[in-house]
Structure 1
């Protein structure tokens, strides 16, 4: 009896069956049909894969996104727009600006706790500048009571347990915001992430004024990532062309760290002075200035008059004006600060006529003292009589002033990216979109005879602290190359939640170390990211075509670079050694194909240095061939009129650069050339 095949149901006659031509023809028809279907399917697949298709766009939102691809491919960012979020609260809880009573405990920059046990009402208020006749929204996470009052004590919104309050300021230009326990209630009450913004809708919590910093796409599937470096404000538009990223900027952010051309403008009413610095290309009155403690300065209305400290305006003369309280600067009412003393203030230093726990503004007579604003005065050990020229330590109480303003005309700028393309794997890719990652921050490594440390606040190791408290240190790089020898640690002397150390045998004291890390408090660094649009190739032909195009572009770029290097004679790599013993400034060294070493440096010395004190070290392949130090002339000076010639020595043993004579000036200029021994 005949049977049938499993897959195509062909008839299989039994050995005893007579031949049946109809069964043969039926089998032939089935085979013919299936062969044709197979051929058509193969043709369709080949046509799809071998015919290049347009690239596919995908929009990625903050958080996790799943992207499915049919082949291994690469993606690049094609569109991204910045954002600006302003929190008119400004100063965070740990800034010292809130002046909390002992009932309140500051738990973190964004959280404070109130404990009540006597059945009475305990509260606190702070005055904040606002715009008149403007809608505002105030929101804070709490389990207590909040209120908003006029400065005369009249309620705008009386005490409420609501998390969000929307109100109009009317004629008020200042308001009080109150925190209090629920009426006559004992307990522990928390207030977190206070946010005050213009408009009737609450915005995400940030510190003062933030754009979107370092938007990042991670692909854990391939272990790859891409980060656009920089801060992108509202109206800034990022685009890509042949692997090169640029941004059309509508706003500009500037750190006012003392390098600007500050000059004295005028003395205001008793208690404050006004200073100014050139800022070109801005829109009149578009400024937002963040003070060193995070407070946002009051914007002087167009056509308004100066009445108080902590006001600002970007004027039509391309000058930024800022009024400064004498209690902040340390300049007395009868004293006019010099340009360098104004610069010192913006570097984080307060002037005083005394070196005690109670600093007194300087009025023109006696000794001038300075102390870092971030350091609480206790006695004379916190002061110096030398006019500071370097930035004071950064802390929750002091950061450089920050300026954000609108550009009169958009400006296109190139931007760097950590990886210009993102690897995608065949199948599902779980893409993570985030912001605020700190990338390639230079580490000031502290070390002893056993270990080297990054991000330790152990006494004597504080210089290793990173700029922001860490949530997690992601990577450490040595001279730009990933260094996996560092060991993670978290303890009471960690600045944040993560520090790293390395056995001293694996530490290179003349290498440059940089760090990628996630900040513990992202709101101090960035606003939440906007969506990011990427582009990727969807089929095999498109992937191959893109790879060929990328290779051609890369070869062309290399050819241009090589040609320019030959034309400019720049076929050398410049290295940046680590400065030691309190020396600051700029230094770079190079060695060409003929073993000629060049050292260029402008250094600021912390004081007199002996001939045994190394300024920095050069790598072993940069050491001179002699058995005794080589000496070279250089220039040292304190002012432009007292320069003199001195010498530096280069040791052939340890590669140390040291003064040939004990230094007597503050600035050292080095331009040295010699032939290395290797």
Structure 2
């Protein structure tokens, strides 16, 4: 019998195979068929409307990328458009005692013995090991940086504790009844915190790590203790937050730290790197190429994958060349196998993640087997292999806000495919290059010092300063209270310096150069009362002056070194200068160095939001060890260390292109690697290439959300594409014009200051400066300097034309006595160009002044 329905629309048709069935039914053959046609037309119309909507109407999805690691679902493969990124500042009232630079001299104890254990750490630099000295007692360890907590204010103290053998451990606020929940678990790190509001002021307090013990010799470890003042709203919100959320929002920072170099990374659909980038070899596996490795039961290769989203399902797969091929997934640190597969062909293993796992390729016997195309993807089903390809948006900038309320935050916005910052805060290094002077008043035990005009345009009383040892220096009465600062509405900065820190006795008044020496890390002392730098200088006759630096750069506990009988003019070793952050009365706009474009793939994406990324820092590889010429390394102490201690290496570039490399963390520190992180196995090393590294800093900073949107239909995708092409064309045009300007630089005539003039009115002798294409700054012309015994600033260089460090040069000069003189010219990182120490020059030729500008 023939079909009674048409194949496409399902219309009724007459069955003519028999005379009995050949008749015409109006309902069946007309009405039902027309209804079918009408339904089909409706479906077509709905489909056309849907397509029209996708092509004619823009649809976007709002996306908030929270701090940490998360899974983001995207309907379409689409770029992320940033609409919001704001600053945040954390002020750790415990300074930097518990950070990556911790030393034993920075800690105090009660009924305990203290050591730094380098094998256990949360933020780097080891942890404080606390061993009890008494039975049935408490044993405390605490930093030397004390603070004051105020009545009615809200605070949170946080840290990580590792209880090895004590009854329990906790964080205790000295001089109060406040303490964190007890940590009773053994042999693992536990995060804990206590939020509190004191009813009365408490001076000289701190957060302590406490053990409750039953015997002598019981042990616990502590790391990353910090104490923050928080707002009332944040204090209330803690009740609804998990421990992980609290730890992320209030993680450890040193002293005063903003959002520093924020980034968002979408990890590739394949979350495994090339074989060259796997973490470690065990035995001697043979790497064939970036996709393949030959292994046995004893010769295997392992990669630690971190971070992952806890509780998320992942699938790992690999092509096995033989029946003895095996893949395993273990937890990190390794205690058990989470998943494994054995055999030939495509091997797959699915597991539920913790924060990190180890993936290992190996064999089941001594027979060599080739494993190729390893793949790790989100979900329960293995995807087809593709090389790893991440997408990242990284910004090189600091973003501040009010430390307690979060108000007046720096904000980032995008315009013409370039990122800008609405800058509401300014940070300064307070070192010996500034024009320090004695202050207006001083008291017993302190000296008030000042820099006039340094903070012009500041909001009065908005400053937060950090001392050389990391201690917070708040706003205060600088004439009577030590370790306070005052930012004035007139633009002047005042700092109170304790006599115990400076060495200036109450009867002594330091000169400007002696104040500068203090801010370069030098303590003054009297050689007639001590030879080790420990005494005070309290003379008025100017005799027996000397200076020394703190050996550890922090306090007197390590003693003093490098004594000098003349005023030092260089930065002392291991010294960290004072820092200042203050609010601007009028915000400014700055462009931001950025790299990359964050884009999602269709489906699930693993995204990490963090801070502390350093982009393409130049570095020159060296042989891994003496006598080795086929293995090259980076980040070796004393030879080619990175500028910051790294915690993770993202990429190594040769002539701007990504190259194969290996990196890892030294588990038994030997002092050879900066921050105990090594970079080696640069397989494509060529001596004449320019190498750079993108990495994550070990020092932490606050993390804030990225807010934005992504396209969810074709119309929005098309508009994004058109806009991207337009902006890229514009930026290429701008770059071409800038290159033309660099290739043909022009001389710039500065505004001369403080009575300095050109030697004559001749055009050829006017003082000018110029920037070459290689960032070399040149000067020419001749100036006349009025008679003076002080250093004279005669003009200021703009940003982009300044040296990275203080640069001191000599130039030909003449005075009333002789034309065969030299003048000392100092060029500071803040742009000041100065004649050092004296004036009265009839002329100074600037033609010898050349230096490289910071880029």
TM-score, scaled to structure 2: 0.58
Cα 1:136/1:270, change in 2 over 3 Å: same
Contact 1:89 1:196 in 2 (8 A): yes
The answer on 1:425 being equivalent to 2:601 is: yes
- What residue number does 2:659 align with? 484
The match for 1:313 is 486
Residues 342 and 42 of structure 1, relative CA distance in 2, 3 Å threshold: same
For residues 305-346 of structure 1, the C-alpha deviation after alignment (integer angstroms, 9 at most, x for no partner) is 633432222123312212223443455656544444444443
Structure 2: distance between partners of 1:35 and 1:297:
77
1:139 equivalenced with 2:315 (yes/no): no
Aligned to 1:527: 702
Q: For 1:332 and 1:516, how far apart are their aligned partners in 2? A: 48
The separation in 2 between residues aligned to 1:132 and 1:83, in whole angstroms, is 22
Say if 1:83 and 1:212, in contact at 8 Å, map to a contact too. Answer: yes
State the Cα distance separating 1:289 from its structure 2 match. 0.8
Q: Contact between 2:458 and 2:491, CA under 8 Å: does it hold in 1?
A: yes
**What RMSD, in angstroms, separates the aligned Cα atoms of the two structures?**
4.4
In the superposition, relative to structure 1, how do residues 537 and 32 fare at CA in structure 2: closer, same or farther (>3 Å)? same
CA 1:205–1:365 in structure 2 vs 1: closer, same or farther (change >3 Å)?
A: farther
- Kindly indicate whether the alpha-carbon contact (under 8 Å) linking 2:396 and 2:614 is maintained by their aligned counterparts in 1: no
- Assess, with a 3 A threshold, how the Cα gap between structure 1 residues 569 and 413 changes in structure 2: closer, same or farther: closer
Flag the 1:306–1:600 CA change in 2: closer, same or farther, 3 A: closer
Contact 2:436 2:516 in 1 (8 A): yes
1:640/1:571 CA distance change after superposition, 3 Å: same
1:292 aligns with 2:302: no
Stretch moving more, 208-217 or 42-51: 42-51
Equivalent residues of 1:110, 1:194 under 8 A apart: no
Query: For residues 813 and 553 of structure 2, what CA distance do their matches in structure 1 show?
Result: 28
Q: Which piece of structure 1 moves more, 74-83 or 204-213?
A: 204-213
Q: Render the CA deviation track for 1:423-447: whole Å, top value 9, x for unaligned.
A: 2333333332222223344547666
Matched, 1:230 2:235: no
Secondary structure, aligned partner of 1:549: helix
- The runs of 5 or more residues in structure 1 that have no matched partner are 574-585, 592-597, 603-633, 646-666, 673-678
- Say which SS state the counterpart of residue 438 (structure 2) adopts: strand
Aligned partner of residue 182 in structure 1, secondary structure: strand
Instruction: Check whether the contact 2:266–2:600 (CA below 8 A) recurs between aligned residues.
Output: yes
Distance 1:360 1:446 in 2: 45
Aligned-partner SS, 1:506: coil
Shift in CA distance, 260/45, structure 1 to aligned 2, threshold 3 Å: farther
Aligned residue in 2 for 1:219:
266
Q: Deviations over 1:94-118 (max 9, x none)?
A: 1544345771223456842211254
Query: Which shows bigger deviation, 290-299 or 155-164?
Result: 155-164
Long gaps (5+) in structure 2 = 162-167, 184-192, 239-248, 269-388, 402-408, 747-768, 780-807, 816-820, 825-845
Question: Are the equivalent residues in 1 in contact too, given 2:437–2:512 (CA < 8 A)?
Answer: yes
In structure 2, what is the equivalent of residue 105 of structure 1? 115
Question: 1:168-214, CA deviations, whole angstroms, 9 ceiling, x for partnerless residues?
Answer: 25244443555443265552123333232334637713332222122
What is the aligned partner in structure 2 of residue 122 from structure 1?
139
* Partner SS for 2:200: coil
- Superposed displacement of residue 226, structure 1: 0.4
> What is the DSSP-based 3-state SS (H/G/I as helix, E as strand, rest coil) of the residue aligned with 1:543?
helix
Which residue of structure 2 lines up, in the alignment, with residue 456 of structure 1?
A: 636
Give the whole-Å Cα distance in 2 for the aligned partners of 1:638 and 1:499. Answer: 47
Moved more, 311-320 or 192-201: 192-201
In the alignment, which of 485, 492, 495 is matched to residue 322 of structure 1? 495
Q: Which residue of 1 aligns with 2:223?
A: 192
When structure 1 is superposed on structure 2, of 141-150 and 377-386 the one drifting more is 377-386
Aligned residues of 1:194 and 1:205 also touching (Cα < 8 A): no
Aligned residues of 1:250 and 1:409 also touching (Cα < 8 A):
yes
**Which stretch shows the higher mean deviation, 109-118 or 29-38?**
29-38
Asked if 2 retains the 8 angstrom alpha-carbon contact of 1:437 and 1:518, the reply is yes
- 1:91 touches 1:296 (CA, 8 Å); kept in 2? no
Shifted more, 502-511 versus 248-257: the winner is 502-511
Alignment of 1:254-273 (within 5 A): 254-265=428-439, 268-273=442-447
Q: Deviations over 1:250-286 (max 9, x none)?
A: 3333333444333332684455433222212222222
How far apart, CA to CA, are the structure 2 residues paired with 1:361 and 1:445? 47
Q: Distance in 2 between matches of 1:176 and 1:424?
A: 45
CA–CA separation in structure 1 for the residues paired with 2:694 and 2:78: 26
Structure 1 range deviating more: 229-238 or 493-502 = 493-502
- Alpha-carbon distance change, 103 to 29 in structure 1, aligned in 2, over 3 angstroms: same
Secondary structure of the corresponding residue to residue 322 of structure 1: strand
Asked if the contact 2:420/2:592 (under 8 Å) is kept, the reply is: yes
The 10-residue stretch of structure 1 (45-54 or 209-218) with the greater mean CA deviation from structure 2: 45-54
- How far apart are the structure 2 equivalents of 1:72 and 1:384? 65
Cα displacement (A) at 1:78: 1.0
* Cα distance in 2 between the residues matched to 1:73 and 1:361: 66
Q: Is the 8 A contact 1:219 1:424 kept in 2?
A: yes
Classify the secondary structure of the residue corresponding to 1:318: coil
1:253 corresponds to 2:423? no
CA distance in 2, matches of 1:54, 1:390: 60
Helix, strand or coil: the match of 1:643?
Answer: strand
Once the two structures are superposed, what CA deviation does each residue of 1:399-456 show, in whole Å capped at 9, x if it has no partner?
A: 332222222233333323223x322333333332222223344547666774664322
What is the DSSP-based 3-state SS (H/G/I as helix, E as strand, rest coil) of the residue aligned with 1:554? Answer: helix
Q: Distance in 2 between matches of 1:370 and 1:668?
A: 37
What is the CA distance between 1:236 and its match in structure 2?
A: 1.9
Note if 1:175 corresponds to 2:205.
Answer: yes
Q: Which shifted more, 199-208 or 426-435?
A: 199-208
Aligned length: 580
Q: Whole-Å Cα distance in 2 between the matches of residues 128 and 638 of structure 1? A: 52
Secondary structure of the 1:139 match is strand
Distance in 1, matches of 2:742 and 2:642, equals 37
Residues 66-77 of structure 1 correspond to what in structure 2 (within 5 A)? 66-77=71-82
Greater shift, 310-319 or 137-146, is seen at 137-146
Equivalent in 96, 99, 111 of residue 91 of structure 1: 96
Give the match for residue 251 of structure 2: 205
Partners in 2 of 1:341 and 1:501 — Cα distance? Answer: 46
- Cα distance per residue 1:616-666 (max 9 Å; x no partner): xxxxxxxxxxxxxxxxxx974699995389xxxxxxxxxxxxxxxxxxxxx
Stretch deviating more after TM superposition (534-543 or 335-344): 335-344
1:87–1:205: 8 Å Cα contact kept in structure 2? no
1:134–1:430 Cα change, 3 Å: same
Matched with 2:718 is 544
Distance change >3 Å, CA 219–CA 312, structure 1 → 2: same
Higher relative contact order (CA 8 A, sep 6+): 1
